[in-house]
Amino acid sequence: MQGYLHLQNGQSFEGDVSSTWKKDVQGEIVFFTGMTGYQEVLTDPSYKGQVVVFTYPLIGNYGINDKDSESKEIQVGGVVMFHCATTTAHHEASISLSDYLNSHQVPFITGVDTREVTKAIRMDGTRQAVVSDKKEVNFLNPTTGQIYQTENNDIEEFGEGSVHIGLIDFGWKKSILTSFLNRGIKVTVVPFSKAHQLHDLSLDGLVLSNGPGDPKDAQKHLSDIRGLLESLPSFGICMGHQIIALAYGADTHKLSFGHRGANHPVKDALTGKVFMSSQNHNYVVDEESLLATPLAKRFFNVNDDSVEGLEHTQKPILSVQFHPEAHPGPQDAEWLFEHFISLVTNKKGEEVHV
């Protein structure tokens, strides 16, 4: 059956749909350049409601398994591919990608020239798009001022260990939690709306998670978060990085088409080393706005010089725009977990000896 991808600027792309869905889906259209990792992308809360274009032509070859999802459900609004695998032979696969999307009533379209769609996004920037089985559609005004609504509004504890960190949930990925649990760290996850309750816990460190949307939508929570940052070794990832910058008075702005993929080169200004990173974000920190803050640029993007990470000049506070947990993507930046844990344990050791 014929399907269509309609862009808000009037462009349309034809493709095929193998099943019907209950209604058309509208969302911000973005593209992901990785050859693998589609399951992690589909379930990553940072992609909440977006229409994702996979630029690699063959998607779904190894199917969907029971362990690689980053959350409990599919987060994307729609999917655009050149080819979607309908079968799989991988020994860990439990369902094909096409059946997985159909079973969750997620609209997807295949047979689309994803190269041309990507060129359109790069030329004019991200914009609203509709995946439909109709030749003509009406666009709705996109919802604004809404940051991620957490799946669970309760405080949850995971793992055991002598080091205890709090994870502020802006739309956290399972692999971030797993990265700490695998290192013997006890983690308490708290929705961003309840960040103030972390003051009542005996924490050794603080992590601010990734998440979708504009970091400025969390403006009313910045005071509580700043108080926590002042008292605990802290680590921000993706949106968490942007929230830390805003909490200290810096500014953020939206990129034309964002950074999404598993091969973005990042340089460490301290060591001069370059490594590959996994990224998924629309917003970045304005470098000039850092001048009036106690934050300094630690990492930057080799391709466009954008800020990729910060360090506090006096406190054990670190943030990165990319994903050191590397799901999907290269593991070049996983050392940052050990680095942050060392900041936490050093601070804890100082307090014990006082």
Phi/psi of residue 117, nearest 5 degrees = -65, -45
Q: Indicate if 89 and 187 belong to the same structural domain.
A: no
Lowest mean pLDDT among 108-117, 140-149, 196-205: 140-149
Region 245-260: mean pLDDT is 95
Q: Indicate if 342 and 253 belong to the same structural domain.
A: yes
Name the band, by pLDDT with cuts 50, 70 and 90, for residue 354.
very low
Element at 284 (helix H, strand E): strand 274-285
Task: Say which of 40, 238, 241, 312 is annotated catalytic.
Answer: 238
Element at 16 (helix H, strand E): strand 12-16
Residue 148 is predicted with a pLDDT of 61
Q: Indicate if 340 and 214 belong to the same structural domain.
A: yes
Is 150 domain-assigned?
A: no
Which is higher by pLDDT, 352 or 54?
54
Is 243 domain-assigned?
A: yes
Residue 147 is predicted with a pLDDT of 62
Q: Indicate if 221 and 180 belong to the same structural domain.
A: yes
Q: Indicate if 105 and 239 belong to the same structural domain.
A: no
Residue 326 is predicted with a pLDDT of 80
The mean pLDDT of the chain is: 92
Q: Is 325 known to be catalytic? A: yes
Is 223 domain-assigned?
A: yes
Which of 64, 99, 132 delimits the end of a domain? 132
Is 212 domain-assigned?
A: yes
The DSSP annotation for 153-169 comes to -S-EEE---S-EEEEEE
Query: CA-CA distances (angstroms) from residue 241 to 62, 87, 122, 188, 237?
Result: 33, 39, 25, 19, 5
Number of H helices, E strands in the chain: 7, 19
Q: Indicate if 107 and 160 belong to the same structural domain.
A: no
Q: Indicate if 212 and 120 belong to the same structural domain.
A: no
- Does 281 score more than 70 pLDDT? yes
DSSP percent split of the chain into helix, strand, coil, nearest 5: 25, 30, 40
Specify the pairing of strand 83-84 against strand 25-32: unpaired
Is 69 domain-assigned?
A: yes
Q: Indicate if 163 and 123 belong to the same structural domain.
A: no
- Residue 43 CB contacts under 8 Å (≥ 6 apart), including other chains: 69, 70, 71, 72, 73, 74, 75
Q: Is 238 known to be catalytic? A: yes
Is the Cβ–Cβ distance between 63 and 97 less than 8 Å?
A: yes
CATH of the domain at 99: 3.50.30.20
Is 140 domain-assigned?
A: no
Q: Indicate if 256 and 349 belong to the same structural domain.
A: yes
- Does 296 score more than 70 pLDDT? yes
Which of 82, 100, 132 delimits the end of a domain? 132
- Does 263 score more than 60 pLDDT? yes
Q: Assess whether the previous peptide bond of 328 is cis (omega < 30° from 0).
A: yes
Region 6-20: mean pLDDT is 90
**Residue 313, SS3 per DSSP:** coil
Task: Say which of 6, 312, 323, 327 is annotated catalytic.
Answer: 323
Q: Indicate if 261 and 334 belong to the same structural domain.
A: yes
The angle subtended at Cα 263 by Cα 94 and Cα 307, nearest 5°, is: 125
Which of 76, 100, 132 delimits the end of a domain? 132
Region 237-254: mean pLDDT is 97
- Does 146 score more than 60 pLDDT? no
Phi/psi of residue 203, nearest 5 degrees = -100, 150
Region 307-321: mean pLDDT is 98
pTM: 0.90
Is 139 domain-assigned?
A: no
Q: Indicate if 123 and 219 belong to the same structural domain.
A: no
State in Å, rounded, how far the first CA of the chain is from the last one: 71
Q: What is the pLDDT of residues 49-92, one digit of tens each?
A: 999 999 999 999 999 999 999 999 999 999 999 999 999 989 99
Is 72 domain-assigned?
A: yes
Q: Within 10 Å of residue 191's Cβ, how many Cβ atoms? A: 20
Task: Say which of 241, 311, 325, 327 is annotated catalytic.
Answer: 325
Please give the tally of structural domains in the chain: 2
Region 191-199: mean pLDDT is 89
Name the band, by pLDDT with cuts 50, 70 and 90, for residue 199.
confident
Q: Indicate if 170 and 309 belong to the same structural domain.
A: yes
Q: What residues make up the domain containing 77?
A: 2-132
Residue 20 is predicted with a pLDDT of 72
Lowest mean pLDDT among 6-20, 273-287, 296-310: 6-20
